[in-house]
A and B are shown apart, each in its own frame.
Chain A
Amino acid sequence: MIKTIEQIEEEIVDEFSLFDSWDDKYEYIIDLGKKLAPLPDEYKKDENKVKGCQSTVWLEADYKDGKIYYQAESDAIIVKGLISMLIRVLSGHTPDEILHSKMDFINKIGMTSHLAQTRSNGLLAMVKQMKHYALAFSLKS
């Protein structure tokens, strides 16, 4: 059975509850960033760039059989780790599910309050962009 967005969010919150310190959390996020599959060069075009990020983020979304599949990359490794989590949560779901997702896990793992505002803008911009794609695909279908 395919896990719901909420179930995946819960999984991540559980995983993060195992870490004692932010040093450990960041090491984990950096590790996720290093493991994220690189985005093919053809997708690294200007229209795929997410605005509002301190680093460059490219986001590509494909719509197949009623579900959206995301791929993304960044030149900053922590940002890549964060994207990797967003993809894990949202990719493979329907536009409707993505549009209605609360994305509470970002708060629950302490990311929003821990990142300084100037640095968390990008994270929120990515979520927003992913939802924009969902909205666009939901209008098309």
Chain B
Amino acid sequence: MIKEVTFEKTTYNELPYKFEAGTPNIADAIALKPAIDYINKVGKSNIRKHEDVLLAHATERLKEIEGLKIIGDNDHKVSVASFVIAGVHPQDIGILLDNKGIAVRTGHHCAEPLMNRFCIPGTIRASFALYNTVEEVDLMIEGLKKAVKVLR
């Protein structure tokens, strides 16, 4: 936003207003309340339970893939499975899974020192949330198996 505009000069408002151009993000601010209501209605512990089911199922089924190694295997971790597969680059897996409509993140996840520590170029990372299902985890496993077969 500006303070004053004339043909001679433009004076900008003070921080942070000078960077607030146009209409503020009203829609999202309004949507935040129903989002919080929804989370409270489902209950955080229920969400956690659902995520645990998905993560346990994924962790178990990932073992079916030959040469797969999970990076980060703490007992109590958020529902994220980060892994590498021997002889296959994460990016290749990412591209082939994209093609099947399966969204995983690949690469060093902006954590290059950690990747160097493990001597890996990056990982494949699947995150499981409230809206995911066990069937979707199975689809991901099938997608992974096919991708590995094509790439090796």
Contacts and interface: CB of A to CB of B under 8 A. Distances in A.
The reply to whether chain A is a binding partner of chain B is yes
A45 to B, nearest CB: 17
Interface in A80-130: 114-116, 118-119, 122
Interface in B84-98: 89-92, 94-96, 98
Contacts of A115: 95, 98
Contacts of B99: 22-23, 26, 114
A26 B96 contact: yes
A30 B150 contact: yes
Contacts, number: 46
A119 B121 contact: no
Interface string A29-49: 010000000000000000000
- Which range holds the interface residue count of chain B? 10 to 19
Interface in B118-148: 121-122
Nearest to B107: A54
A138 interface: no
B82 interface: no
A119 B89 contact: no
Contact of B151 (A22, A75, A77, A122): A77
Interface string B90-112: 11101110110000001100000
A76 B91 contact: yes
B101 to A, nearest CB: 11
B91 A119 contact: yes
A71 interface: no
Given A54-B107, A54-B122, A119 B98 contact: yes
A73 to B, nearest CB: 12
B102 to A, nearest CB: 12
B95 A119 contact: yes
Contacts of B107: 54, 118
Given A26-B150, A27-B150, A30-B150, A79 B91 contact: yes
A56 B120 CA distance: 12
B98 A55 contact: no
Contacts of B122: 54
Given A54-B106, A56-B121, A77 B96 contact: no
B150 to A, nearest CB: 6
Contacts of A119: 91, 94-95, 98
28 contacts: A22-B99, A23-B99, A26-B95, A26-B99, A26-B150, A30-B150, A54-B91, A54-B94, A54-B106, A54-B107, A55-B89, A55-B91, A56-B121, A75-B89, A75-B121, A76-B89, A76-B91, A76-B92, A77-B89, A77-B151, A79-B91, A79-B92, A114-B99, A115-B95, A116-B98, A119-B94, A119-B98, A122-B91
